[in-house]
């Protein structure tokens, strides 16, 4: 089973749920870092949702504040998040085009 480190990015996330990453078929993924950066001149809040391929949707964060020019590290350090094939990570902001996301992952195929 090869292990591949990857980075996924998504810019200008707004007020609708936006899929940042979908775990490919026949793959397990470990999220080792998930950073949200506020790119606006005002404070925003953010939601992160894990859409589980088996039907459950779980909030990782709900209405988490990110200050002006600040960032939020939702996953990192000792914390990891495992995804299975078909699982999706979505991010949403309280303001239009206001969050950039950087996702560091390890895909195991």
Residue 44 burial (CB count, 10 A): 24
Q: Is the pLDDT score of 1 beyond 90?
A: no
One-letter-per-residue 3-state SS of the chain = CCEEEEEEEEEEECCCCEEEEECCCCCEEEEEEEEEEECCCCCEEEEEEEECCCCCEEEEEEEEEECCCCEEEEECCCCCEEECCCCEEEEEECCCCCEEEEEEEEEEC
What is the total count of domains within the chain? 1
Note the pTM of the prediction, 2 decimals. Answer: 0.94
pLDDT value, residue 108: 97
Enclosing domain of residue 104: 3-108
CATH number at residue 73: 2.60.120
| β-strands 99-108, 57-66 pairing | unpaired
Per-residue pLDDT reduced to its tens digit, 16-53: 999 999 999 999 999 999 999 999 999 999 999 999 99
Average of per-residue pLDDT values in the chain: 97
Per-residue pLDDT reduced to its tens digit, 65-77: 999 999 999 999 9
pLDDT value, residue 4: 97
């Amino acid at each position: 089973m090869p292990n591949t480190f990857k980075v996924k990015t998504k810019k200008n996330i707004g007020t609708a749920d936006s899929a940042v990453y979908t775990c490919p078929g026949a793959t397990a993924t470990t999220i080792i870092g998930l950073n949200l950066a506020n790119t606006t001149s005002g404070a925003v809040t953010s939601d992160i949702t894990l859409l589980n391929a088996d039907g459950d949707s779980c909030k990782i964060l709900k209405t988490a504040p990110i200050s002006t020019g600040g960032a939020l590290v939702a996953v990192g350090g000792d914390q990891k998040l495992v995804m299975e094939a078909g699982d999706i990570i979505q991010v949403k902001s309280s303001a239009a085009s206001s969050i950039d996301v950087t996702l560091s992952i390890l895909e195991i195929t």
